[in-house]
Structure 1
Amino acid sequence: MDSLITSIFIAIAFLVVGVVVGYLTGINKAQQNVSSASEQPITDPTAELRRDLATYFDHMAASTAELNRQGELLKSQLIDSAEQIAGINLISHFDGSKPTLAHAEPPRDWAPKSPDAIGTLSEEYGLKEEPVEPPRA
């Protein structure tokens, strides 16, 4: 009987210790949650949007600079290869000057016509009366 009382006493002691440890752990977790919530600042959506836009434009500027650099590298490789392989000088095509043709005429925005013909902007242009046939009986 003495061992039964001792076993019950030990069980009650472990139960009390478990409740106390659980209570203290719960209080500690609650304090951590409150402190972590108070440490996170409330963010302004406009400031966050501005930060995201700044990041986006920085990325796009870097990408554009990289594309320009690669384009210049490709252009120089093309010029060098054309010179080495075919003896063609392509620098004039890339230096910004456009080749001109001495015999070429500038494009016209009108059609040539004879002096006595009706022009396309005339009110009579394209309005010809069709001959009327008499009705058939």
Structure 2
Amino acid sequence: MQDINTLIAVAIICLLTGAAIGYFVLGRMKPEQQSRVALEKQFNDMQRQQQDYQQQVSSHFDRTGELLNELAESYRSVHNHIVDGAQTLHSTGISPLQAIPEGRPVLDNKPSKLAPAAPPLDYAPRQPGKKGALHEEFGMDAEKKRQDHIESPVSPHV
């Protein structure tokens, strides 16, 4: 009898252990859980890619700025060389070219103290009470007055 009780107890313990293991395994294999984990992984990958891209863009523009500064310095050197040659080789010793100062910053990130330039006006500003230059009837009044003052041709009398 004791063997049967032991056998039943072992069977119940195995059944409960198997049920607990099955519950956790099925919980991990649920589609919602899998899709959530996959979405989190995809989101983290995309976020890492975005950060890498931003870093690449930043270093690209840093390097572009360095190269532009080097180009401007090279231009300045060539220009000043031409100025020196023109002053030395010109017959009067006076050259119309001016040297570019060396210490002048080429590209810096400091905002300019100058007022922003306004774009050129491509129209005549409108005067109060009058039609602007872009109005379809602009200038028509003067033409109408000229036509009113023109007398009709007189036919010759026979």
- Relative to the length of structure 1, the TM-score reads 0.38
TM-score by length of 2: 0.34
If asked which structure has higher relative contact order (CA below 8 Å, sep 6+), I would say 2
